[in-house]
């Protein structure tokens, strides 16, 4: 089948991740349906039941023991290295001209994404890193965080990507695994500029992959961790991302993820995403050798305004949390130091008898009953 000048028999589809009994069989079936004659490589972990799964090549990666938590609030284990390993090992087995990387819980609704691959030839020579652009989803490719609206340089989505095999291999195979202290409890360069307060990593997985490739491919670009937010990194990110990737919404791509269906169906409602509409706008602005200086000035103002708002929001939350913590400590200390008095007050509220000279006052559940003594 030929779609957008691409023959589906020339595509290797790498499906990586843990086997999901509900989603993985359907994922593989939709690949066979919409990308007939493509090569399907299933890169998973040792031990799953693979009966009935439709694939051409299977890779059983050795499990990595990992209990490092990157989100202490939600108690989420950081699986970045598992994702990198299963993706890299699958890509190494790809033998076709093009590679599509999917998660094991993805679904192909159609093959429309192929029609966009050769549709955006304009590029600024200064920022070209691939032979051709790579297609990625708008979910969660970002210019800004939707948490506190700080910018997120080099943050392309990893739900799926499609491109020339040479470009995909260049993008993924050189990515180094994250060290333990980078997976959890990482000491950020600018702690007050972390795009999200609850995550304790150096980078999220997708940002690590992209930022690692950027720093290898382009000279004089340093991006130490996801708090290293400067106007320079912001501008470099815009130019590199929009000259090397195509960002598609579900309507254009036909690729979704049932676990994140709301995000895929409502990408235009999530702040900071690089939607297809946003990509078209930036394509006209940034993908030529004659960028408009006035637009650059506008971007600089937008960067500082967003980051100021995000920083104020971040600090306000910090102050709010600190006040709450201090108040909780004060209350807890008071309760500990005065627990006898508190129990006495509570007991008196529930039931007590107070004898006076000519009457008794009975308190029951807060109600006071006065009984006067009868003189004989």
Cα dihedral: 106, 110, 111, 115 (round 10): -120
Backbone angles phi, psi at 103, to 5 degrees: -85, 160
The per-residue pLDDT for 199 is 81
Distance, in Å, from the CA atom of 45 to the CA atom of 337, rounded to the nearest integer, reads 54
pLDDT beneath 70: ranges in the chain:
66-75, 147-148, 291-376
**How far apart are alpha carbons 210 and 278 in whole angstroms?**
19
In the chain, domain spans: 2-310, 340-372
Q: What integer pLDDT is reported at residue 26 of this predicted model?
A: 97
Please count the CA atoms within 13 angstroms of the CA of 294 that sit on its side-chain side. 0
How many beta carbons lie within 10 A of that of residue 213, not counting itself?
A: 21
Q: What is the pLDDT of residue 150?
A: 82
**pTM of this structure:** 0.79
Instruction: Produce one character per residue of 293-320: b if its CB has 16 or more CB atoms within 10 Å, e if not.
Output: eeeeeebeeebeebbeebbeebeeeeee
DSSP secondary structure string for all residues of 198-233: SB-SSS-HHHHHHHHHHHHHSTT----STT---HHH
The predicted pLDDT at position 298 comes to: 46
Q: What is the pLDDT of residue 231?
A: 87
Say what the pLDDT of residue 48 is. 85
C-alpha to C-alpha distance for 9 and 15, rounded to whole angstroms: 16
Fold of 2-310: Spore Coat Polysaccharide Biosynthesis Protein SpsA; Chain A (3.90.550)
Interatomic CA distance for residues 89 and 98, integer angstroms: 16
């Amino acid at each position: 089948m030929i779609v957008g000048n691409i023959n589906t028999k020339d595509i290797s589809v790498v499906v990586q991740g843990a086997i999901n009994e509900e989603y993985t069989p359907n994922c593989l079936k939709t690949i066979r349906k919409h990308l007939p004659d493509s090569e399907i490589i299933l890169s998973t972990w040792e031990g799953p039941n693979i009966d009935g799964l439709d694939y051409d090549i299977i890779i059983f990666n050795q499990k990595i023991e990992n209990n490092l938590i990157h989100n202490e609030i939600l108690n989420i284990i950081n699986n970045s290295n598992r994702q990198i390993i299963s993706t890299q090992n699958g890509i190494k087995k790809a033998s076709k001209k093009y590679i599509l990387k999917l998660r094991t819980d993805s679904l192909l609704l159609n093959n429309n994404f192929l029609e966009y691959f050769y549709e955006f030839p304009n590029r600024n020579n200064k920022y070209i890193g691939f032979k051709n652009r790579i297609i990625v989803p708008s979910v969660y490719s970002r210019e800004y965080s939707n948490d506190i609206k700080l910018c997120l340089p080099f943050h392309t989505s990893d739900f799926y990507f499609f491109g020339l095999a040479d470009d995909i291999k260049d993008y993924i195979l050189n990515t180094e695994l994250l060290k333990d202290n980078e997976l959890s409890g990482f000491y950020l360069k600018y702690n007050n500029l972390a795009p999200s307060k609850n995550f304790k990593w150096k980078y999220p997985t997708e940002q690590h992959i992209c930022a690692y490739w950027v720093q290898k491919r382009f000279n004089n670009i340093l991006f130490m961790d996801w708090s290293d937010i400067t106007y320079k990194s912001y501008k470099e990110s815009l130019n590199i991302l929009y000259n090397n990737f195509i960002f598609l919404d579900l309507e254009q791509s036909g690729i979704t993820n049932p676990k994140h269906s709301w995000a895929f169906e409502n990408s235009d409602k999530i702040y900071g995403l690089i939607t297809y509409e946003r990509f078209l706008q930036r394509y006209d602005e940034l993908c030529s050798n004659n960028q408009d200086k006035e637009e650059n000035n506008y971007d600089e103002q937008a960067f500082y305004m967003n980051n100021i708002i995000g920083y104020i929001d971040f600090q306000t939350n910090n102050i709010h949390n600190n006040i709450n913590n201090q108040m909780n400590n004060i209350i807890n200390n008071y309760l500990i130091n005065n627990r006898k008095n508190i129990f006495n007050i509570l007991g008196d509220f529930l039931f007590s008898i107070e004898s006076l000279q000519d009457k008794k006052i009975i308190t029951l559940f807060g109600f006071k009953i006065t009984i006067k003594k009868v003189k004989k």
